[in-house]
Structure 1
Amino acid sequence: MTVTIALVYQSLLGVYGDRGNSIVLLQRLRRRGLDAELVVCEPGDTIPPDAQVYLLGGGEDLAQISAVKALKADGNLFRGLDAGGVLLAVCAGFQICGTSFTVGENDEVHEGLGLLDVSTRRGPTRAVGEILTEWTLPDGDTSLITGFENHGGYTTLGKDAKPLARVEKGIGNDGRGFEGAVQGKIIGTYPHGPVLARNPALADHLLELALGHELDPLPMSSVATLRTERISAIRG
């Protein structure tokens, strides 16, 4: 089996280096001896309806509107998720997965993709800076997630979405102590970094969701050292 990773609309939702998430997933699969391919889809391209992992990244206001229109017209992201695919949506990608989001100085409300039970509105202050959160894994263990947040929208979760993590330092969704959202096999989160390069446990969690089984450990001392340094720096 070849694991297909679909990087969706890089030119619209890829201005903060979130493409790196696709490289992390690809290499973590290959280092375990698993076959993997990366499919980069731009507006006008057909998104594969049978990918195991889909990735959306960060972008600007007008790019969000264009991405929603194109994704709805294509339809294959919805089909792929219905077939069991996994989606990681970062920042603007997270926002457009919700029921609605606002753009521009007039806070014009736009309909989202409806994949997550969340809505986004302009917040009182822009969230900019390092963020550190505590994520509880499905087995009950906890892991810290580090990244860099840069968003003006504040996201509120509805009853069908659960927070990804609890904020230790930073703003997160709306300054009230939580970050990201999880609903089925869809994960929305604000941190860049890229977030999967900084947080290998989260990367492996996505791959395990996609594959349906646990992966063998992939210890990398250099990554562990960098994580320790980043966490120490954020905590001050």
Structure 2
Amino acid sequence: MSHKIVVVYQSLLGIYGDRGNGMVLAKRLQWRDLDAEVVNVEPGEPVPDDGLIYLLGGGEDLAQIAAVKALEADGGLHRGLDAGGVLFAVCAGYQLCGHSFTVGDNDEVFGGLGLLDVETRRGSERAVGEILTHWTRPDGTEDLITGFENHGGFTSLGSDATPFASVEVGVGNGTDGHDGAVQDRVIGLYPHGPILPRNPALADHLLELALGTKLEPIDRPELNAEHERLRQERIRIVRTTRNRAEQTR
């Protein structure tokens, strides 16, 4: 059986290269000798209801509105989640998973998919730049996540959603010192660019959540070492840049 990684509406929600998240998930399955394929679905095409993981990326205001309308009309994403799929949404994709979000200079409110108990409204400042967050894994250990954020909306969580990570550098949700939200089998975060190539542990977490089992480490020592070297270098650069900025204030 081939595991489907479904990239949803790349033409609307893919302006930051977020389809790369799908490529990473499929490759990390294949490296473990598990069949995987990336399925790209565009508006007007049916969203398969047998996906392992569904991906929503970043997009502009009008694209965000069009994506919500198309997904509601299609219904495949909701059926896929009901069947046990996992949804990973970033930036605009994260916002449209909530109950509502605003767009445009007049802050017009639009209804979201209602998959996360969150609301998004225009923030006091635009969040643009590197973000560094602290994520607690299911086993209780802590990991650092790096990414790039570029959003004008700030997101507030309701009682049914749980923050994903705490922010060390950057803005994230902009309302609570955290980035992202988790509810059932839906995870939304602000960093994109894409985020999973930067954070292999997060990619494996999504796969384990979808498969319902603990995955063995990938037996590629040189690749794993290079991933970790690059990750630590990004963390160092983000912290150094933050410290320099604070010293010049």
**TM-score, normalised by the number of residues in structure 1:** 0.99
SS in 2 for 1:63: helix
- Measured against aligned partners, the alpha-carbon deviations of 1:31-56 in whole angstroms (never above 9, x if no partner) come to 11110011100000111001110000
Report the counterpart of residue 231 of structure 2 in structure 1. 227
Q: Distance in 2 between matches of 1:138 and 1:30?
A: 24
List gaps (5 residues or longer) in structure 1: none
Where 1:188 maps in the other structure, the secondary structure is strand
Q: Unaligned regions of 5+ residues in structure 2, if any?
A: 241-249
Matches within 5 A, 1:1-236: 1-218=1-218, 219=221, 220-236=224-240
DSSP 3-state at the match of 2:54: strand
SS at 2:161 equivalent: coil
| 3-state SS in 2 of match to 1:163 | strand
User: Offset at 1:192?
Assistant: 1.1
What is the CA distance between 1:176 and its match in structure 2? Answer: 3.2
1:3-38 deviations in Å (ceiling 9; x for gaps): 111000000000011011001001101011110011
**Number of positions where the alignment pairs a residue of Structure 1 with one of Structure 2:** 236
Instruction: After the TM superposition, list the runs of 4 or more consecutive aligned residues in structure 1 that deviate by more than 6 angstroms.
Output: none
- Checking the alignment, whether the CA contact within 8 Å between 2:156 and 2:175 is kept in structure 1 is no
Q: In structure 2, the residue corresponding to 1:95 is in which secondary structure?
A: helix
> RMSD value over aligned CA atoms?
0.7
Query: Equivalents in 2 of 1:54, 1:2: separation in Å?
Result: 15
The more displaced of 180-189 and 192-201 is: 192-201
